Structure 1
Amino acid sequence: MLNGKANKYRISEKTVKLITEEANSRNYKPSLLAKGLRTQKTNTIGLLVPGIDNPYFANIASTVISETSRLGYTTVLVDTMGAPDLERAGVESLVSRMVDGIIVVPSGQEPDALESIDRNRTPVVLIDRYFEPTALPYVTTNNYEGGLNATKYLIGFGHRDILCIRGVPHSMPARERERGYLDALREAGLEDRARIAGNDFSIQNGYLETKFALSGSARPTAIFAMSNTILLGTIKAIKESGLRIPDDISVVSFDNYTYLDYLDPAITRVSQRISEMGALAVKILLQRIEGTGNDDAKIQLSPQLIVCNSVAHAHGEK
């Protein structure tokens, strides 16, 4: 009677009114799980990210939640902390709660478990990262293009000793940004000057690797930080070393945040189109839930290099 079908079952308006008033007085809320058992739809989706404490993944989560809410869905957020076992447990928990679909930033290296869920139980869409090869649809940044353009920009200012501080080595974004970095050096005939260090998208990783690089005699003239978190550690280490950006060392980062414009100097960075990424992932997933979508959708969005004041000509170069 509370589902708007009283007329269909010939229930009187008086009876509907009495039951509605009683339900309201008891603050009754319909069970989504019970509704899902009846209709096979709960209007909820699951979202798994590797670390909500990372501003980048917090932005992805905010975009997805805002978009799903606008379209009448509730999002259940799971923080996997970048651990494949926690990701598996989170996915199983979401499936047991009968979510209509799942958007995930994958942490593992193998697609089998997610592909099985997608094939047999619940539609899955990848965001930010993907597997190669995979049958799962995804929306991501063209990380190779971003790494290539960032490194070419530094080379254009005469830099020949560019340290690349990467994130988790096995993650797709880190691999592709590293590939772009190496190809840019190769095109400039500088492949033997490649310097890659680091193993995590963290402030500590940026700090330790920069500190180590600046302590040696072969100090880099520029640093390419693969994420905003790595960048913050890099800046701290540079300042502790008594060096100035960009007078003594140039810096380029991946990820775009407003606060980077308020640092001194403002940081040149590769901007990812997070809003479009989130909106497209939601669109693909909801179409798949309705059975109208493209199961083979694989989208890479071109990033943008935002030029600020953190890069100068290498000493002796003009």
Structure 2
Amino acid sequence: MKNGMRKKATIYDLSVLSGNSPSTVSAVLNGTWRKRRIKETTAALIRDLAEKYQYTANRQAQGLRSSRSGLVGLLLPVHDNRYFSSMAQTFEAHVRSKGQCPIVVSASRDPQEERDTAATLISYSIDELFICGATDPDGVHEVCEKAGLKHINIDLPGSKVASVISDNYEGGRMLTEAIIRQFPADKPLAPEELYLFGGRNDHASHERIRGFRAVKRELLAGDPDICIQTTGYSPNNTRIAFEAFYKQEGRLPRALFVNSSINFEGFLRFMAGHPHETFADMVVGCYDYDPFASFLPFPVIMIRQDIESMLAKAFEVMEEPRSAPTVHMIRPELIKPRTALAGPLDALKDID
């Protein structure tokens, strides 16, 4: 088969080109090759040939043969957020590597919309659903369970099915300690000078706040309740909270723990209305990573949640027999100020 031919390759073409049986090629393309103990080098060769010769699976024919559509869903709360967009990008790459087709949708943190969207995806005969950051994961579970659809929670846990989440308590501890130790010994931070802004009454916020308070008590010997300002995840609500604090105190705290990059956007909106001097000599920690924020004129320490490991574990658990709902926690990474990391967008290919 010549590379310049318009006709796309079939499994049998790839079998001839790779020197492997059609069943081996099929196992690589549908993601079951590890179960058959096919070598990694063989799988890589077949995937490279499939891309080179523009192999496209016939989803309709596959569905008729296997009662599977090859469609795998990811339900997000929002798209406009680096953490969730990276989640989507990494998810899509993983699904495509298994020869399947990803479908990514959002439900805007609306519990009813989450259930309705899950029902719509089920009507399109998706094979699996990854439920990320759902406001009501158990409500989505009920919809999936009724339809007999395999599903798993990511980012926020549910009580009915397995979940893979960040270790938010440990991440909260790591970030709080890094903020405190950023201050010199001759100008130490006092307990009332370190505030947490953002988050709401969800598992992730609760665990981050628990870690924040534990480290403040250990290192600063104090933890005033007033230092916790839960604003929800709205950037505008966060901005309003900063404006109210500034109006009352005439200044900002010396140190801030901002509960997510969405809340950090609210902080940036507050910054836009105030002079540079307002932010001199302060230290900020953000529980999420964004390379642009990392290069602000004051130190910004960040927590990067390990999306790659979270998804790898979720796909692994999805293949296991159904068991009691277990929460699998993945340790996040502390990122120093002025750091630009590689991400899923680096995998994009330039096309001439």
Q: What range is the shorter-chain TM-score in?
A: 0.7 to 0.9
User: In the alignment, which residue of structure 2 is the partner of 1:43?
Assistant: 70
- Partner residue in 2 for 1:264: 297
Q: What is residue 178 of structure 2 aligned with on the other side?
A: 153
In the alignment, the residues of structure 2 paired with residue 153 and residue 262 of structure 1 have an alpha-carbon distance, to the nearest angstrom, of: 17
User: CA offset at residue 112 of structure 1?
Assistant: 4.7
Distance 1:251 1:213 in 2: 16
Cα deviation for residue 224 of structure 1 reads 0.8
Deviations 1:188-218 (A, max 9, x none): 3212254122433233233222222222227
Partner amino acid, structure 1, of 2:288: D
| 1:69 aligns to 2:101 (yes or no) | no
Give 2:168's aligned residue.
143
Q: Which residue of 1 aligns with 2:197?
A: 165
Q: For the aligned residues, what is the CA RMSD?
A: 2.9
- Alignment match, 1:206: 238
- Trace 1:228-267 onto structure 2 (pairs within 5 A): 228-238=261-271, 240-244=273-277, 247-265=280-298, 267=300
- When residues 245 and 283 of structure 1 are mapped into structure 2, their CA distance, relative to the original with a 3 A threshold, is farther
Q: Letter of the aligned partner of 1:257 in structure 2?
A: D
Distance 1:212 1:221 in 2: 16
Q: Percent identity?
A: 22
Shift in CA distance, 199/36, structure 1 to aligned 2, threshold 3 Å: farther
CA gap of 1:263–1:248, structure 2 versus 1, over 3 A, is closer
Question: Structure 1 residue 179 and structure 2 residue 204: aligned?
Answer: no
Compute the TM-score of the two structures, normalised by the length of structure 2. Answer: 0.70
User: Corresponding residue for 1:89?
Assistant: 116
Q: Using the TM superposition, name which of 272-281 and 240-249 deviates more.
A: 240-249
Q: How does 1:186-201 map to 2 (within 5 A)?
A: 186-187=217-218, 188-192=220-224, 194-201=226-233
Which ranges in structure 1 are unaligned for 5 or more consecutive residues?
Answer: 6-28, 311-318
For 2:312 and 2:232, the matched residues in 1 are separated by 27
> What one-letter code is carried by the residue in structure 1 that aligns with 2:76?
V
Cα distance in 1 between the residues matched to 2:116 and 2:315: 22
Shift of 1:239: 5.3
Q: Which residue of 1 aligns with 2:24?
A: none
Provide closer, same or farther for how the CA distance between residues 180 and 37 of structure 1 changes in structure 2, counting only shifts above 3 A: same
The amino acid that maps onto 2:242 is T
Paired residue secondary structure (1:206): helix
| Correspondence for 1:15 | none
Q: Structure 1 pair 295/303, CA: closer, same or farther in 2 (3 Å)?
A: same
Residues 297, 94 of structure 1: alpha-carbon distance in 2 compared, 3 angstrom cutoff? same
Work out the CA distance in 2 between the residues paired with 1:79 and 1:122.
19
Query: Which consecutive unaligned segments of at least 5 residues does structure 2 have?
Result: 1-9, 13-56, 340-352
Q: Tell me the secondary structure at the aligned position of residue 111 of structure 1.
A: helix
Aligned residues: 277
Distance in 1 of aligned mates of 2:338 and 2:278? 9
TM-score, with structure 1 as normaliser: 0.77
Q: Comparing both chains, which one has the higher relative contact order based on Cα–Cα distances under 8 Å and sequence gaps of 6 or more?
A: 1
- The whole-number CA distance in structure 1 between the counterparts of 2:111 and 2:77 is 9
1:262/1:55 CA distance change after superposition, 3 Å: same
Report deviation, 1:35: 5.1
Q: Kindly indicate whether the alpha-carbon contact (under 8 Å) linking 1:211 and 1:238 is maintained by their aligned counterparts in 2.
A: no
2:171 pairs with 1:123: no
1:141–1:173 distance in 2 versus 1, CA, 3 Å: same
| Distance (whole Å) between structure 2 residues aligned to residue 266 and residue 109 of structure 1 | 36
Q: CA distance change for structure 1 residues 172 and 227 in 2, over 3 Å: closer, same or farther?
A: same
Residues 20-31 of structure 1: pairs in structure 2 closer than 5 A? none
Question: What is the deviation of 1:143?
Answer: 0.8
